[in-house]
Structure 1
Amino acid sequence: MGKRSYIGPNAVIGLGGPVVIGEDVQIGAGLTITAESHEAGPDGSFVSGAVSRKGVTIGRRCWLGNNVSILDGVTIGEGAVIGAGSVVTRSIPAFSVALGAPARVTRSIGPADQLGR
């Protein structure tokens, strides 16, 4: 976890795989990070299947609202904003706003929005 970063209360960070949180990241209450995923085995059962641990990376200067969930294999690019209650199932580009379940990019953050950069 980088310098000057904050995670609100009631966070659950599953460290099956690596989790990297950059500097100056602000994360609201109720964060869930799941840094592993379970895959079904040949018989269709998750009990006999494999476990994948790709990890999660949150770039510097990101802002995540309350109750955000991030799944294994996701990278959130620098300066991205993730709306409250979003479920991030795939990587989010730098300087973009994403929200929803599953999270979708709704717009880019332009230079005028990048204060302090």
Structure 2
Amino acid sequence: MYKRVVINKPDFTYLKTKLDFEENTENFTIDAILFKYVVKQAVGFVFGEVGGSLNVDVLKYSIKEREAILRVRTSAAVQLQSALSLYSSYKGKLCAFHTLQVSPHLISLAVNSRHIDV
């Protein structure tokens, strides 16, 4: 009557990541398209042309916080995380990507239990 469905390995992994610059960059805005370009540049920097073919989607982006929710195939999630951690400079400005959360389920990025206001 009822059928149980178990998904062992999801197709996508979701990352909540933030881009920080060392210098004061109040007059330097990064929109969603430029953010995706910097992410692709980071992957290409670490993995070359093969890494440049990695498909990364920006699902949500905050210009003010420079935070984004990225979607990538589960098989390429480790490559993306390592490329973001090793990337350190954009247009001569020192920067760093911080991975805030990683999950195979998008809904779990909606709430961060470490920052709950009581």
Q: TM-score, normalised by structure 1?
A: 0.28
Greater RCO (Cα-Cα under 8 Å, separation 6 or more)? 2
Q: TM-score, normalised by structure 2?
A: 0.28
- Which has the larger helix fraction? 2
Indicate the structure (1 or 2) with the bigger Cα radius of gyration: 2
